[in-house]
Amino acid sequence: MSELNELTLAEARDGLKAKRFSARELTQVHIAAVEKARALNAFILETPERALAQAEVSDRKIAAGEARPLEGLPLGIKDLFCTHGVTTTAGSKILEGFEPHYESAVTANLWRDGAVMLGKLNLDEFAMGSSNETSAYGNVVSPWRRTGSDAQIVPGGSSGGSAAAVAAHLCLGATATDTGGSIRQPAAFTGTVGIKPTYGRCSRWGTVAFASSLDQAGPIARTVRDCAVLLASMAGPDARDTTCVDLPVPDFEAAVSRGVKGLTIGIPKEYRVDGMPAEIQKLWDQGAAWLKDAGATIKEISLPNTQYALPAYYIVAPAEASSNLARYDGVRYGLRVPANDIVGLYENTRAAGFGREVKRRIMIGTYVLSAGYYDAYYVRAQKIRTLIKRDFEAAYAEGVDAILTPATPSAAFGIGEKASADPVEMYLNDVFTVTVNMAGLPGIAVPAGLDSQGLPLGLQLIGRPFDEETLFAVAQTIEDAAGRTALPKPWWA
Amino acid sequence: MNAPVNPKKLIKGGLHDWEVVIGMEIHAQVTSRSKLFSGASTAFGAEPNDNVSLVDAAMPGMLPVINTECVAQAVRTGLGLKAKINLRSVFDRKNYFYPDLPQGYQISQYKDPIVGEGEVLVDLPDGESITVGIERLHLEQDAGKSLHDQAPNQSFVDLNRSGVALMEIVSRPDLRSSEEAKAYVTKLRTILRYLGTCDGDMEKGNLRADVNVSVRKPGDPLGTRCEIKNVNSIRFIGQAIETEARRQIAIIEDGGTISQETRLFDPGKGETRSMRSKEEAHDYRYFPDPDLLPLEFDQAYVDGLAAGLPELPDAKKARFVADFGLSAYDAGVLVAERASADFYEAVAKGRDGKVAANWVINELFGRLNKEGLGIDQSPVSADQLGSIIDLIGEGTISGKIAKDLFEIVWTEGGDPRAVVEIRGMKQVTDTGAIETAVDEIIAKNPDKVAQAKEKPTLLGWFVGQTMKATGGKANPAAVNALLKAKLGIE
C-alpha cells in the first residue's frame, strides 16, 4: 500500500469519505513528509499543531456525516496569504514576525470548506521572481533533478514553495498567486498543474499585493481535477474587493470530464519565438495532436501584439508595486530600523527590509510613474494592454474556445545559473504567461512530458473570461494523453 | 478674469495700484457616518486611534471599498454648485511618504473628478454680487494626524482622521480682494450646510482653505502665485491674503520676482513663510488606483439626488424678496443659515413678512449675537415670537410693551399671551379710562396747557405723562388723538 501522501487530493477526499483512513492519519503522514523534506526549504513556517487540531475537527465532521467539500485535506498556503494569528511574511524581511489579525478571503474559504493547513510556503519576495531565489528565507530547491546530476534545480517562481511542496507530495495541494506567471511557470517546472483563474474570480482581500490589476490567486495541485476542486472553494464573490466579480462559482470538477469534442483550439503563431528550443516546439505540436485526436479542431490564430506584452508588463507591474509597497515604512508593523528622523527611519527600514529584486522593481516603478515619464511609459503600457486584450477578443470572436501555448520557453534551470545574468533574462521566463495577466484571462499549466534531461515541461491553455470550465476540460485531455508524470525520486527524504 | 477692474479693490503700492488675484482650494469634510473607503466611524473627539479599521491602517492585503453615501454627498454638492456631474470618474493614487499617510499614497481624483465646472454667486457687503467659477470638485481621503508633543524624542500618529472623506472644491482665480475671498468661503459654507454635505466647522478642521495669491498691475497677465496652505478660519483667510499680497508687492516694487512656492500663514506673527519651493515640490506619481474600478452611475441616480435637494440660499433669498416683500439685504441676512431662514419662515407664516423680519433680525438676532448664541439655542421659539407679533398686530400690546414682553419670554419663557394676561400688560384702548387720565393731567398743569397752544411740540410731554399714568398700557394713538383734541392742537 502506497503512502497516503501519494494520493491525489480527490482520491484522499474519497478515501476519507469512505473512512478508509482518518483525517488525522492523513495529516500526520503529511506532517512527517514536511519534516523530512526541509532540504527543499519549501515551507517558511510549519504549523503541525494547527493541522492536527483541524484534522480532529474534520474527523468529527466526517463521523457525523457532515463532511464539507475539502474536509480533512492537508494543504500548503503560500506565505502571501494573510492567516489570522499565523506569521505572514510575503517572503520578505520587512514583514518578519508579522501576525495578521485577519484571514485572507481565499484561505477563509478553504477553512470554511474543511481544509487543513500544514504551514506557510516559501515564495519569491513579494512574489517578485521566477525562480524562488529572491526569498528572504532562502531559495526553494526543486524536488526534480536532471538525469544523472546532483545539481540543484529551481522550482520556478514566485510560487516555488507551493510547486515544490505539491511535487514532493508534502501536501495535497497548495494556494498560489499569479501576477505574470507565478502559478503556471512553477507548475510547469515541477510537473504539477496550476491555474490562474480569470481576474476577479478570487478575492484579493487579505492577500499581500504585488500588482493589484494583475494579481490573482489560484491553486497548484498534482492533477487537473484537484485544481478544479480547490479552485471551486477558493473562488467566489467578495464585497470587500471591488474588482472581484459577483458571479456564482461553477461546478469546476464536473467540467473536468467534458472532453474536447467540437472545441476549437487556437495556436498563436506569434508564440513561436526566436530561439525557442526544438523540444518546446515538439511538445507544443504534440499537445495540438493530442487535442486533435480527442476531437478538437486546431486552428492557427494571430495575436499580433504579443511581442509588446513583456515590456509593457514590466512597466505596469513595477509601477503598481512601487505604490503598493509604500506601506512598508517601519511606522506601524513589521521591521523598523530606527533613525534620528522620519526620512532616516524610512531609508533604514526599507534598505534593510527589501531585497535586491524588490528594490529594483520599486525603482523601475517609481521611475515610470515620474512626472515627464508617465505618458511615455505607463500610459503607453496601458494602451498596449488594451491592444493585447483586443487580440484575444478577436480570436475568441472567431470561434476559438481555448488557446494552446507552451507554458515556459525552457525547462527549469539550475539554482544560481541566472544569478549573474541580466535580470531581463530572468524576466523572459514569463514571455508566454504575462499576456494572460495583461488581458485578465484564465490560464492553466498542465504537465505534458519531460525534456531530454529528464525535467518536466508544461503546456499552457488560455481561456475566455470566466470560462475556466473549458480549460479544465482541455487540460484533462492533455493530462490523459500525456500520462501522469513520473515522480521525482525522493532524494531529500 | 477679464472683468473690468474695480478701482476700490486695488491695493495702493509705491509705484502704482496693484490688483490681487485669488483662487481657492477648499477641503470640506464630507458629512457621513463612515470613512470614504472603510467602515470606520468619522465621529469627532474619539480617543486617538479608536476609529481605525484595517484598511485605514493600511495593513497588508487590505482593499478600499467606496462608501456610496460619500459619493451621493459629492453629487449633491456638485448640484448645489450648479456644476456638471461626471457620470464616470476615476480614483487615482497620489504617492508620497508621510507617517500620517499609512498607505504611502492618498486616494484622490486627479484627471477625472466626480464634479466638473460650476459657479457660486457671492453677495458682497456693499451690495454688489460676483460670480465665482468652480473648476472642479473631487473626492479624496484625509490624512491622519502627527502628534509631536507626547514624548520628547518621538512623534505619535493618530489615524482617526485617516481615510475620512474630503471634497476638494477648486475655484477659478476669480477673486480680487480679501473681502471677496472671505465672502466666497462664507457663501460656499452656507451652501454646504444647506445641503447637509459638510458641517463647515472650521474650528474642528472640517473646512480648510488653501489660498492661491498673486498680484499684478491691472490689465497685465496673471502674476506668479504662491499657495498658502491650510488656513483654518475665515478671518485668517482675509489676513493671509492681505499679508501675502503686500509681501509680493514689496518684493516686486523692490525689483525682485516672486517664486512659485507653498507658504504657511502664521496668524500670531501676522506673516506668511515659505514651506517649500517649486523645486522641492513632491512628484506625486499619480496613477489610477488599480484597487478601484472607475466610479460610474447614471443620470437617473443624479436626478434622484437632485429631486431630494433642499431649497438653496439663492432661491430662498429670491423667494423671501418676492413673497414677503423683504429687501435683498434683509433676505440675505435671513438665509445665511438654513436654521435662521426656517425660523423666520415659521414666524412669518400668516403674518406680515416685514414685521416678522424686523423682529427676527433686530430683536432676536441682536440678542442672540450679544449672548453668543446660535439660532438653534434661542430661548425664544418661533411660536413665541409669532405670538408677540400677533399681540402687537391685534392691538393688545404696544410695540414698547412688546419689547418688555420679549425680554420676559427670553428670560422666563412661557406663552406670551398668558404672560400679558397675568402681568396685566394689556394695552388700554378704553378711551374713557384714557380720558380720565388725560383730564387729570390737564387739570394739574394749566401753565403747560397754555404753553402748548403756542408750542405744539409740548404735546410729547403730555403723551409721556399720560403713558406714565397708565403704566405704559395706553394705546399711543388714542392718547395722541385725545390730547390733540383737548389741547386744541392741530
Active site residue A36: no
Write down the pLDDT at residue B448: 84
Q: What single-letter DSSP state applies at residue B359?
A: I
Residues of B with CB under 8 A from a CB of A: 54, 57-66, 93, 95, 97, 99, 102-105, 155, 157, 283, 285-287, 290-293
Candidates A328, A369, A385, partner chain B, best to mutate (most B CBs within 10 A)? A369
Lowest mean pLDDT among A132-136, A392-396, B141-145, B281-285: B281-285
Is A182 among the residues known to form the active site?
A: yes
Spatial CA neighbour of A170 closest among A159, A162, A158, A181: A162
Mean pLDDT over each residue of chain B, to the nearest integer: 92
Which backbone phi and psi does A178 adopt, to 5 degrees? -140, 115
Q: Which pLDDT score is estimated for B490? A: 67
What are the grid coordinates assigned to A210, written together? Answer: 504585488
pLDDT in tens, B100-149: 999 999 999 999 999 999 999 999 988 899 999 999 999 999 999 999 88
Structure confidence by residue, pLDDT tens digits, B223-277: 999 999 999 999 999 999 999 999 999 999 999 999 999 999 999 999 999 988 8
What's the mean pLDDT in B76-87? 98
User: Which residue from B109, B110, B112 is spatially nearest to B139, judged by alpha carbons?
Assistant: B109
Supply φ then ψ for residue A247, to 5 degrees: -120, 140
Cβ atoms within 10 Å, residue A318: 26
What local confidence, expressed as pLDDT, does residue B488 receive?
80
Among the listed residues A58, A104, A142, A158, the single catalytic one is A158
Instruction: Quote the pLDDT of residue B3.
Output: 59
Per-residue pLDDT reduced to its tens digit, A120-151: 999 999 999 999 999 999 999 999 999 999 99
Query: For residue B418, how far is the Cα from the chain centroid?
Result: 37
Confidence of residue B477 (pLDDT cuts 50, 70, 90): confident
Report if residue B193 sits inside a domain: yes
What pLDDT does residue B1 have? 46
Residue A304: band (very low, low, confident or very high) from pLDDT cuts 50, 70, 90: very high
* Closest CB to A320 among B63, B65, B290: B290
Cell of A362: 520599486
Nearest-angstrom CA–CA distance, B339 and B332: 13
For chain A, the domain total comes to 1
A78 carries an active-site annotation: yes
Query: Predicted confidence band at B433 (pLDDT cuts at 50, 70, 90)?
Result: confident
Residue of B nearest to A210 (CA): B61
CB B156 within 8 Å of CB B150? yes
CB B295 within 8 A of CB B85: no
Domain boundary among B391, B422, B453: B422
The answer to whether residue B142 sits within a structural domain is yes
Note whether B281 and B404 are same-domain residues. no
- The string of DSSP letters for A222-284 reads SSHHHHHHHHHHH----TT-TTS---PPP-HHHHTTS--TT-EEEEEGGGS-TT--HHHHHHH
Q: Which residues are registered as beta bridge partners of B21?
A: B214
pLDDT digits (tens, 9 = 90+) for B442-451: 888 888 888 8
Per-residue model confidence (pLDDT) at position B82: 97
CATH number at residue A430: 3.90.1300.10
Let me know whether B46 and B170 are in one domain: yes
Interface contacts (A, B; CB < 8 Å)? 97
In the numeric block, the cell 487580440 is attached to A391
Summarize pLDDT for A210-263 with one digit per residue, the tens: 999 999 999 999 999 999 999 999 999 999 999 999 999 999 999 999 999 999
Q: Is the pLDDT of residue B205 over 70?
A: yes
- Is it the case that residue B208 has pLDDT exceeding 80? yes
Q: Are residues B131 and B164 in the same domain?
A: yes
Q: What is the mean pLDDT of residues B393-422?
A: 90
Q: What three-state secondary structure class fits A207?
A: strand
B102 interaction partners in chain A (CB closer than 8 Å): 327, 331-332
| Counted domains in chain B | 3
User: Same structural domain for residues B362 and B407?
Assistant: yes
Q: pLDDT for B32-46, tens place per residue?
A: 999 999 999 999 889
pLDDT average, residue stretch B425-452: 82
Cα separation of B81 and B137, whole Å? 10
Q: Are residues B255 and B403 in the same domain?
A: no
Residue B325 within any structural domain of the chain: no
Question: Which residue numbers of A have CB closer than 8 Å to B's CBs?
Answer: 82, 88, 90, 95, 98, 100-102, 104, 204-209, 211-213, 239-243, 319-320, 322-323, 325-327, 329, 331-333, 342-343, 346, 366, 369-371, 374, 378
- What percent of chain A clears pLDDT 70, i.e. is strictly above it? 99
Per-residue model confidence as pLDDT tens digits over A79-98: 999 999 999 999 999 999 99
Tell me if A304 is assigned to some domain. no
Write out chain B residues lying below 8 Å of A213, CB-based.
290
Mean pLDDT confidence for A47-54: 98
CATH code for the domain of B457: 1.10.10.410
Burial (CB count <10 Å: 0-12, 13-18, 19+), residue B488: exposed
Percent of chain B surpassing pLDDT 70: 99
* Integer CA distances (angstroms), A110 to A30, A66, A264, B168, in order: 18, 16, 34, 43
Q: Of A182, A203, A322, A410, which one is the catalytic site residue? A: A182
- B286 and B138 assigned to the same domain: yes
Domain check: are B406 and B472 in the same one? Answer: no
**Residue among A455, A406, A451, A450 nearest A430 (CA):** A406
- Residues across chain A: 493
Q: Are residues B219 and B284 in the same domain?
A: yes
Mutant choice from A82, A323, A346, A370 vs B, greatest count of B C-beta within 10 A: A323
**Grid cell digits, residue A485:** 508524470
Average pLDDT over residues A194-210: 98
State how far residue A287 is from chain B, nearest Cα, in angstroms. 36
Q: How many CB atoms lie within 10 A of CB B29?
A: 24
Helices (H), A37-149: 48-63, 105-112
Q: What is the ipTM of this complex?
A: 0.96
| B372 & B436 share domain | no
Residue A81 lies inside a defined structural domain of this protein: yes
Q: Which residues of A touch B286 (CB under 8 A)?
A: 369, 374
Query: At which residue does the C-alpha cell 498673486 appear?
Result: B214
Domain enclosing residue A195, as ranges: 4-258+412-482
Does B151 share its domain with B261?
yes
Q: With 50 as the cut, is the pLDDT of residue A1 above it?
A: no
User: What residue numbers bound the domain in which B389 lies?
Assistant: 335-422
Closest CA to A333 of B291, B37, B157, B95: B157
Give the closest residue to A162 by CA, choosing from A149, A172, A147, A150: A172
Task: Give, as one character, the DSSP assignment of residue B360.
Answer: I
Looking at the domain assignment, is residue B152 inside a domain? yes
CB A170 within 8 A of CB A220: no
**Tens of pLDDT along A251-298?**
999 999 999 999 999 999 999 988 889 999 999 999 999 999 999 999
Q: Which of A311, A334, A293, A280 is nearest to A456 (CA)?
A: A280
Judge if B297 and B438 occupy the same domain: no
At residue A2, the pLDDT reads: 58
Both B341 and B294 in a single domain?
no
Q: Which residue has the higher pLDDT, B400 or A78?
A: A78
**pLDDT confidence of residue B489:** 77
> What is the spatial distance between Cα A430 and Cα A338, in angstroms, rounded to a whole number?
38
Alpha helices in B349-398 (DSSP H): 353-358, 366-371, 382-393
